[in-house]
Structure 1
Amino acid sequence: MNADSKIAYFDCFSGISGDMIIGALLDAGAEFHRLKAELAKLPLSDYELHTQKISKQHITATKFDVVDKGQTAYRHLKDLNAIVEDSNLPEEIQKRAKNIFLRIAQAEARIHGQPIEKIHFHEIGAVDTIVDVVGALICLKLLKIDKVFCSKINVGSGFVEFSHGKFPVPAPATAELLKGVPIYSSDIQMELTTPTGAAIITEIASGFGELPVMVPETIGYGAGERDLSQPNVLRVFVGHQEISSDLDQDRIVIMETNIDDMNPQWYDTVMEKLLQQGALDVYLTSVLMKKGRPAIKLTVLARIGDEGKLARLIFQETTSIGIRMREEMRKKLHREIKEVNTQFGKVKFKIARLGDEIINATPEYEDCKRIAHENNLTLKKVYQLLGGVVVRL
């Protein structure tokens, strides 16, 4: 049985910013009047929203602008969260908006060496930035996007002026936000990717790379502010990706390193720490390297975006001096943990389904271990006795 997943793919050949994201999604079909109605739920005033069609190097694009008629307020993270929480916006949008603000606060705290609660949001505290963050999430909901993907990101080059000084491109906060994301710099001497754009896309994107196999239905162009030697637009492809509804699907990063000079007693700690830091799986394989040296291949399965912190942990905890990484698609059976009544009381079972059919059902090890101890049975006997429960699930 097949089902369609609606996806959006952002093509960032001229970078990405909050207003460009909204412009592209409006151009792809999100309705401006509905966006305005949703944004009106924010407890903000003294601003206006404008859109217009303009041409960028012979490409017609939608320019989205927020005109702030009030004074710029320098806010803290708690202030931004309060603005979102005091709205009547859907809980999912509130949660993601707060995640984006937190990403920015963490990046600024890292750069300035201060606790998050002491970080003043300068440009980011302005009304237009709050509207950009929340507006982008609203547009995705209006278009009923299930998943977002993104290309490698052009960050630009040169220097950029902020209220607190002159900084290299990408700006330090932008660079911090884009850790673990494929970026590049062109010969365009200006900031192409803003902290707001970086924070939004790293929150909403499920993966970064080439255009996935999809059937585009609409293509939108969001215009940037300046005129460049190339079209200063953000392109978004919106369409459907056929997936098997019988299977779950995602993209993960495979990390591998061969180690031939480490005390094998260390591996237990290394594996435990990797799993604690969010690794999906960790396993060891015996390999034979050049000159006939036996070694261990450490393999880590990671969520996209987690590879940076996991790589640092591997370098800190092992003797590895290099890690191979690749992104792969993964198909999985639907999985769930279910409590089942048995002769020993309630036991947790790990159930794997293909559609409505149960393919595997295995009692959880810790429950079996407890039952064996309490009933003076071998672990093997407990598994044998619980095996008959499968047909009654």
Structure 2
Amino acid sequence: MTIGWLDLSAGASGDMLLGALVDAGVPLDVLGAAVAALPVEPITLTTEQVTRHGLGATRVHVHAPASDVHRTWADVRELLAAAALPTGVRDGALAVFERLAVAEGRVHRVPADEVHFHEVGALDALADVVGVVAGFEHLALDRLTASPVALGSGSARGAHGVVPVPGPAVLELLAGVPVLAGPVPAETCTPTGAALIAARVQEWTTLPPMRVQRVGSGAGGRDPVELPNLVRLVLGEPAAAPSDGLLLEANVDDLDPRLWPGVLTDLLAAGAADAWLTPILMKKGRPAHTLSVLCAAPAADAVQAVVFAATSTIGLRAQPVHKVALDRRQDTVAVLGGRVGVKVARSAGRVVNVSVEFDDVAALAGTLGLPVKEVLRGATAAAHAAHPGGVAGPVEGIDYPLAREGE
């Protein structure tokens, strides 16, 4: 399983994304072949190694003849439909241009099919979209995530005149996406870049837990003093989060105490590994209980449902927890003509704990008509005899104080 993360702290554009893909290992021929399949004037791609604030990166140049053609969304659809592209690349490029058409239509208050692409309809923009989509299709990522997007600030001149930065179309394209201005007082995210990341990114987050395999840095044409003008693409395998489950807690001061035993039973039945109560005093001296529940992540929804259904709480605290467990196995020992279960725990191959199953002890005591404490005493002795080492000798790594004379 391969995942990717885009660092968009310097913004995004088509050429920056192309550079990041090539720098991360996507062959330039893969991108060039997709672009060459477009039924338009010949377009070629070349690469250049550059530095931005001392950081090495790949810059991809799109070489296309001058063109003053203003294509509509309908024109672009026909063009892509006629191109000899793999289905995934064609569908992906169509999805990007559809986003662009809808966003531009909202900005200019016209239907999407009537939108005339200016900057984003030029040959280099067509190459950016098709090339980036082909690059990600080649990687076949299982998941693509990205950081919040820096959009820039100030103003810029477009086909319709001066427009504010972030541009209206960019804001439309990134609705619902975490964004920020960033330190550069200029446009740092283009409409093409915004449409590409909006169409391809599945989750917006900081760098997720992963084992990094490759990193690609794609440079933009400018070199601002505020920060390196780069998009970074980090590829790797997902790494498990450093927790085995969740600890869920709630403070409850208004539940009939007679209900708590049933609540704990229901939580264990729902998949909780453990559940317990701690008496506390809340504000104004009110007596209450803290309900604590341990559960594995897959059981969290079912456990939470029980908490909300069976108690009066309206909220839960949740925190990841990591479990350190000794190697253990189950056994039985003979006691007074019956058998009692025993749990044996080992550390570094050495027995460090031996405990008997109390329910077995109580059941055997009832069968024999003996006090539970007598059967418990016999079962404990039998368990330690069968598994010596549970109470004998110091445990490695623990400092024991010296006994005082006479003790």
TM-score by length of 1: 0.59
User: 1 or 2 for the larger relative contact order (CA 8 Å, sep ≥6)?
Assistant: 1
- How far apart are the structure 1 equivalents of 2:105 and 2:31? 32
Could you tell me which amino acid in structure 2 is paired with residue 231 of structure 1?
Answer: P
Q: CA RMSD in A?
A: 1.5
- How far apart are the structure 1 equivalents of 2:42 and 2:84? 19
Could you tell me which amino acid in structure 2 is paired with residue 147 of structure 1?
Answer: R
Q: Verify: 1:17 aligned to 2:13, yes or no.
A: yes
Which of 185, 189, 193 is equivalent to 1:189? 185
SS at match of 1:168: strand
**Structure in which a larger fraction of residues adopt strand:** 1
SS at match of 1:73: coil
Q: Verify: 1:237 aligned to 2:234, yes or no.
A: yes
CA shift for structure 1 position 172: 0.5
CA shift for structure 1 position 14: 0.5
Q: What corresponds to 1:107 in structure 2?
A: 103
SS at match of 1:88: coil
- How far apart are the structure 2 equivalents of 1:197 and 1:87? 22
Which of 89, 94, 112 is equivalent to 1:93? 89
SS at match of 1:23: helix
Structure 1 runs, 4 residues or longer, greater than 6 Å off = none
CA shift for structure 1 position 156: 0.8
Q: Verify: 1:161 aligned to 2:160, yes or no.
A: no
Instruction: Find the structure with the greater CA-based Rg.
Output: 2
Q: What corresponds to 1:58 in structure 2?
A: 54
Mapped contact 2:143–2:202 kept (Cα < 8 A): yes
- How far apart are the structure 2 equivalents of 1:136 and 1:18? 7
Provide structure 2 residue ranges, at least 5 long, that are not aligned to the other structure.
241-407
| Larger deviation, residues 29-38 vs 149-158 | 29-38
- How far apart are the structure 1 equivalents of 2:27 and 2:5? 19
SS at match of 1:138: helix
Q: What corresponds to 1:40 in structure 2?
A: 36
- How far apart are the structure 2 equivalents of 1:156 and 1:116? 26
Could you tell me which amino acid in structure 2 is paired with residue 46 of structure 1?
Answer: P
* Alignment deviations for residues 168-216 of structure 1 (CA, whole Å, 9 cap, x no partner): 1111000111110000012311100011111010111111011111111
Provide structure 1 residue ranges, at least 5 long, that are not aligned to the other structure.
244-393
Mapped contact 1:46–1:70 kept (Cα < 8 A): no
* Alignment deviations for residues 362-383 of structure 1 (CA, whole Å, 9 cap, x no partner): xxxxxxxxxxxxxxxxxxxxxx
SS at match of 1:189: coil
CA shift for structure 1 position 242: 5.3
- How far apart are the structure 1 equivalents of 2:188 and 2:205? 18
CA shift for structure 1 position 133: 0.7
Could you tell me which amino acid in structure 2 is paired with residue 115 of structure 1?
Answer: P
Mapped contact 1:47–1:70 kept (Cα < 8 A): no
* Alignment deviations for residues 248-285 of structure 1 (CA, whole Å, 9 cap, x no partner): xxxxxxxxxxxxxxxxxxxxxxxxxxxxxxxxxxxxxx
* Alignment deviations for residues 338-360 of structure 1 (CA, whole Å, 9 cap, x no partner): xxxxxxxxxxxxxxxxxxxxxxx
- How far apart are the structure 2 equivalents of 1:78 and 1:43? 15
- How far apart are the structure 1 equivalents of 2:6 and 2:196? 12
Mapped contact 2:217–2:231 kept (Cα < 8 A): yes
- How far apart are the structure 2 equivalents of 1:90 and 1:156? 35
Could you tell me which amino acid in structure 2 is paired with residue 165 of structure 1?
Answer: G
Q: What corresponds to 2:175 in structure 1?
A: 179
- How far apart are the structure 1 equivalents of 2:142 and 2:68? 34
